[in-house]
Structure 1
Amino acid sequence: MLTGMHIAVIGGDARQLEVIRKLIELDAKLSLVGFDQLDHGFTGASKEQIDEVDFSTVSAIILPVPGTNLEGQVDTIFSNEKIILTEELVKQTPAHCTIYSGITNSYLDHLVTSTGRKLVQLFERDDVAIYNAIPTVEGTIMMVIQHTDITIHHSKVAVLGLGRVGMSVARTFAALGANVRVGARKSEHIARIFEMGLAPFSLKDLSSHVSDVDVVINTIPHMIVTSDVISKMPAHTLIIDLASKPGGTDFRYAEKRGIKALLAPGLPGIVAPKTAGQIVANVLAQLLKEGMDGRGEK
């Protein structure tokens, strides 16, 4: 249980509602910032403006999956309030206060360094990333069906990257009958692709492996689908970029060539916000309990 633990949940989308439900269930004291337009209330949680929160008693700050932007602003779909997490506010928290975010950026990195607080990136954890791969794959299937006029079965699909998402995407599309080729850099990934019964290729040879491809699914957060690569694709090719913004695709050149290229980060929160929220909530609950136990709190 998290009885008496003061937690500030700041901004977010529908996923955060599952986090709030879980924390209430664990008897935490919640300050909800950026939820003033939420239709229903939560017993045991109070909706507050950010300047109304007593940060001197806050043991944890929970940010949305994207964290903040580069100016410190936190997005929310439940309020028109402009919410900025400042160094001044964070310095008011107890020294043990931990900030939880899906990912980080230069602003958040500087914030925790300057205030001496700890930042936990939930999406850097293997368990969160693997669980999230499930709704990501389902969302990718949905997008391919929506934006092509062929079946996935017997289509030619190139998956770029064999990380936690790439592996799940490649395996699922193969199970649906697609002819899947997977590009990777590491020799051990090439070996794993072969072991999975798929067609491996080295990413340095990417441009020579897309001349007949129907769908390209990128999971690598670096510029990989360049203009040179896109120039070798058939005009009907669909590119789906699952990497975090700005993705790894030259979208300008894709548009110039008339090739449909879609940036689709955060698919779990779009196609299955309840499940995606429960994934985050369960891991957060575990981490918060461990933090409380570590400080000897009851």
Structure 2
Amino acid sequence: MLTGLQIAVIGGDARQLEVIRKLSELDAKLSLIGFEQLDHVFSGVSKEKITDVDFSDVDAIILPITGTDSNGRVEMIFSAETVEITEEMLLKTPSHCTIYTGIKNAFLEEITKKVKRRLVMLFERDDVAIYNSIPTVEGTIMMAIQHTEFTIHGSSVAVLGLGRVGMSVARAFHHLGAKVKVGARKTEHLARITEMGLQPFHLSDLDKEVRDIDICINTVPHLVVNAAVIQKMPTHTLIIDLASKPGGTDFRYAEKRGIKALLAPSLPGIVAPKSAGQILGNVLAQLLEDDVLKRKEKL
């Protein structure tokens, strides 16, 4: 249980509703900032403006999956107001206050280090990333069906990257009957691709491997699908970029060549926000309970 724990939830999309529901059920006291347009009613939850929150009592701050922008502004779906995370705000919190975010950026890393508060990136956790790969795969399949004129079965698919998402995507398209090749850099990943019964190739050979593909699915958060690579693709190729913004594709050149390229980060929040939110809620509940136990042990 999280009885007595004061948590500030700042902004976010539909996934945060499941997080709020889970933490409310565990008896945490929640201050929702940027949710004035939300109609849901949760026990022990209050909607507040950021200027009305007493941060000296806040044990944890939960940011959206996207965290903040480079200036500290938080994405608001259920509010028209703008909220910024500031050094002054964080300095008011107790020293044990932990900031939870989906992904980090330079701003969050710098400001939390400066005020000496712990920053937890949920999407860097294996459990969150693996659970989230399930709705990500389903969303990728949905996009492939919607934006092509051929079946996945029998099509030639290149998956770039064998991380937690790349592995799940490659496996799913293989089971749907696609001819799947997977690009990676690490020798252990190339070995794993072979063990999975798929065709491995080194990403340095990407421009040669895309000459006959129908679908290219990128999970690498760097510019790998560049103009030189896109220039070698058939014009009917569909690019689905799952990497976090700005993705790993030269979208300008893809459009110039007439190749459809879709940036699709945060697919779980689009295709299955309830399931994605439950994943985050369960993990956050466990992390918060662990923090409470650790603080009690120190007393």
Q: Which category of TM-score, normalised to the shorter sequence, fits these structures? A: over 0.9
Aligned to 2:159: 159
Query: Aligned partners of 2:36, 2:79: CA distance in 1, in Å?
Result: 6
What SS does structure 2 have at the residue aligned with 1:30?
strand
| Offset of residue 10 of structure 1 | 0.4
Query: Aligned partners of 1:215, 1:260: CA distance in 2, in Å?
Result: 10
| Offset of residue 214 of structure 1 | 0.2
Aligned to 2:15: 15
Aligned to 2:178: 178
What SS does structure 1 have at the residue aligned with 2:293?
helix
What SS does structure 2 have at the residue aligned with 1:136?
helix
- Where do 4+ consecutive residues of structure 1 move more than 6 Å? none
Residue correspondence of structure 1 range 213-228 to structure 2 within 5 A: 213-228=213-228
Query: Aligned partners of 1:203, 1:95: CA distance in 2, in Å?
Result: 44
Query: Aligned partners of 1:181, 1:60: CA distance in 2, in Å?
Result: 43
Q: Residues 66-103 of structure 1: CA distance to partner in whole angstroms, max 9, x if unpaired?
A: 00001111112100011111110110000000000001
Q: Residues 10-49 of structure 1: CA distance to partner in whole angstroms, max 9, x if unpaired?
A: 0000000000000011000110001000012222100000
Aligned to 1:261: 261
Aligned to 1:196: 196
Query: Aligned partners of 2:190, 2:287: CA distance in 1, in Å?
Result: 35
Query: Aligned partners of 1:140, 1:174: CA distance in 2, in Å?
Result: 13
What SS does structure 1 have at the residue aligned with 2:23?
helix
Q: Residues 133-182 of structure 1: CA distance to partner in whole angstroms, max 9, x if unpaired?
A: 00000000000000000000000000000000000000000000000000
Query: Aligned partners of 2:192, 2:84: CA distance in 1, in Å?
Result: 44
Give the letter for the 2:66 counterpart.
Answer: P
Aligned to 1:78: 78
Q: Residues 212-250 of structure 1: CA distance to partner in whole angstroms, max 9, x if unpaired?
A: 100000000001001000000000000000000010001
Query: Aligned partners of 2:273, 2:67: CA distance in 1, in Å?
Result: 17
Query: Aligned partners of 2:40, 2:22: CA distance in 1, in Å?
Result: 16
State how many pairs are aligned: 298
Aligned to 2:37: 37
Aligned to 1:121: 121
Query: Aligned partners of 1:213, 1:113: CA distance in 2, in Å?
Result: 45
Give the letter for the 1:21 counterpart.
Answer: R
Give the letter for the 1:281 counterpart.
Answer: G
What SS does structure 2 have at the residue aligned with 1:39?
coil
RMSD: 0.9
What SS does structure 2 have at the residue aligned with 1:193?
helix
What SS does structure 1 have at the residue aligned with 2:296?
coil
Query: Aligned partners of 1:210, 1:196: CA distance in 2, in Å?
Result: 21
Give the letter for the 1:7 counterpart.
Answer: I
1:145 aligns with 2:133: no
Query: Aligned partners of 2:225, 2:146: CA distance in 1, in Å?
Result: 22
Give the letter for the 1:196 counterpart.
Answer: M
Query: Aligned partners of 1:165, 1:87: CA distance in 2, in Å?
Result: 34
Aligned to 1:232: 232
Gaps in structure 1 of 5+ consecutive residues: none
Aligned to 2:98: 98
Aligned to 2:132: 132
